[in-house]
Amino acid sequence: MPRPRSLTIRQIAAAALAVIDRDGLPALSMRTVAAELDRRTMALYRYVEDREELECLVVDLALGDVLDRDVLDRAARPAATAGPRARLLALLESMREAVGAHPGVLPLAVRHHGGCPSALRWRERLLEALADAGLDAPRRAAALHALVSYVIGALELEHQAAAAVTPGGPLVPETFPLLAAALSARAAADPARAFTDGARAVLDGLGVG
């Protein structure tokens, strides 16, 4: 007779998220999650097939609090008279908020964004707003790709400091004056404002007024 299960999938995902929040993504492993739960490593395989499944569970938990169905419905319709552009900006900000609460999960969110239920709901809401903006199916597909790419890039820059430049580094202001000025302005800007300004520029390019 099989032993009764003493853990839930949510508990395992929460333990994995705790490891990432405390020690960073490189610390995530079946062993460290098992230790967080005070279990033997092999015990986790009764619940989770492999590392990939564990990562998917972490992404869904990390994004789920912000990107669950009710929250997305509110974000997609921030006011009864809100147009598609306002809804799109609210949805983009909801993803920034979700990742901001657990920045260590960002690489996993990028890796699994096409298979995580909460992220799929988010993309569906984006497509609904794009349809309401009058974009046909091919333009919606292109716009969705552009918006998802923008969010991934913006959040990587914000949370992984990909554009950080230290004195004596390869960026010489005299050689790259415009780039140096742009990075300096970005570093001085409020992250939330910079994210929204970039999102508006993307929407402008897509013709979503």
pLDDT at 207: 92
Looking at the structure, do residues 27 and 71 belong to the same domain, yes or no? Answer: no
Q: How far apart are CA 29 and CA 35, in angstroms?
A: 10
The CATH number for 92's domain is 1.10.357.10
pLDDT at 81: 58
Mean pLDDT of 75-96: 79
Looking at the structure, do residues 84 and 127 belong to the same domain, yes or no? Answer: yes
How far apart, in Å, are the Cα atoms of 120 and each of 33, 95, 194? 26, 12, 25
pTM score of the predicted model = 0.79
Looking at the structure, do residues 24 and 123 belong to the same domain, yes or no? Answer: no
Looking at the structure, do residues 83 and 39 belong to the same domain, yes or no? Answer: no
Number of domains forming the structure of the chain: 2
Looking at the structure, do residues 29 and 102 belong to the same domain, yes or no? Answer: no
Structural domain that includes position 162: 63-206
pLDDT at 17: 96
Looking at the structure, do residues 157 and 186 belong to the same domain, yes or no? Answer: yes
Q: How far apart are CA 139 and CA 157, in angstroms?
A: 27
Q: Where are the alpha helices (DSSP H) in 161-190?
A: 177-188
Mean pLDDT of 119-140: 93
- R_g over Cα of the chain: 20
Top-confidence residue, 194 or 66? 194
Looking at the structure, do residues 34 and 108 belong to the same domain, yes or no? Answer: no
Looking at the structure, do residues 102 and 153 belong to the same domain, yes or no? Answer: yes
Is 15 a member of any domain?
yes
Is 1 a member of any domain?
no
Tell me the per-residue pLDDT of 7-58, one tens digit each, with 9 for 90 and over: 999 999 999 999 999 999 999 999 999 999 999 999 999 999 999 999 999 9
